Structure 1
Amino acid sequence: MSETIFEALRESHAIQRSLMRKLMRSDPGEHRVELFTALRIELAAHEAAEERFLYVPMLMDDRGLHPSRDALADHHKMDDLVEELQTVNHAGRKWTANLSKLSEELHEHLREEERSFFQLGGKILTDRQKTGLAKKYRKEYIAMHKKLASE
């Protein structure tokens, strides 16, 4: 069977968890800046593609309206934290505290999506939609990655 949107999203979730784990363990310096940049790009590419190819279709069904809005609000909170973390040196107590907040928000959001949101999506979307949306998600995700990495 072809890949579903949920399988594609879980792959990005694993990348996000890995990057966050490495970033949380990193020391100030060039490597931390590289890890943060990689996480920032991964989150932005994932969010854009996920919102377009999972949240929008789920918003069209009454059962998916409230959960999709909550998920969008989570993305907004994480975007605000990422913006606060964009500093020159990526160090200091405030930076570390904001990174911890982002880590908590990210992990809670991913757990919620994987444990309940995806199950609801599985009921709302047809099998054909799940595979078709996966292809669209992948294409958008790759395009966003390239765009953001070149900025």
Structure 2
Amino acid sequence: MDTDNIYEALRVSHDIQRKLCRRLLRASPQGGKRQEIYAELKIELAAHAAAEERYLYAPILMDDMGLNSSRHALAEHHEIDELVEKLGKAEATGGEWLAAAKKLSEEVHHHLKEEERKFFQVSGKILTETQKSRLARQYNKDYERMKVVLRG
């Protein structure tokens, strides 16, 4: 992942998340495809959230102007974590699974849209161009590291 600033770096993962959510909802309940895509999405969401919280939310939390938007974004990450856990407990061939997958996909799409349209603008006013570049490097390194850690 070669990106010049934190927002470009995050959008790469955001696009992966959107694609995985679409694939998850289209996956057949037979043959284990749902579980395979779920596992990939779970790792992607967790690795992204961990690195994003460390290298975007934390610095923005330190600025009064970014406090409320950071808290809101963190709360949405927590909601997504809970939806991922709920989906993981659902039977992949049942109707409960599809309802949980739809709810997760909706929340992920909502969060990404809100983050890209609101949070990026607020944080963009707080961070310097140098910080945006440095944070991108730190985010990318941690994001890749977390994917390895989460895959076990």
Unaligned runs of 5+ in 1: none
Q: TM-score, normalised by structure 2?
A: 0.95
TM-score by length of 1: 0.95
Equivalent position of 1:44 in the other structure? 46
Structure 2 counterpart of 1:127:
129
2:7, 2:42 → 1: CA distance?
21
Distance in 1, matches of 2:106 and 2:34, equals: 18
- What SS is found at the alignment partner of 1:108? helix
RMSD over aligned Cα atoms? 1.1
Q: How does 1:1-151 map to 2 (within 5 A)?
A: 3-28=4-29, 29-87=31-89, 89-150=91-152
Q: CA deviation at 1:88?
A: 7.1
**Conservation of the 8 A alpha-carbon contact between 2:90 and 2:96:** no
Post-superposition Cα deviations, 1:3-33, rounded to whole Å, max 9, x if no partner, equal: 1000000000000000000110011131111
**Moved runs in structure 1, 4+ residues, more than 6 A?**
none
Give the residue type in structure 1 aligned to 2:81: D
- CA distance in 1 between counterparts of 2:91 and 2:76 reads 26
Structure 2 Cα separation of the partners of residues 25 and 112 of structure 1:
24
Q: Tell me the SS of whatever aligns to 1:3.
A: coil
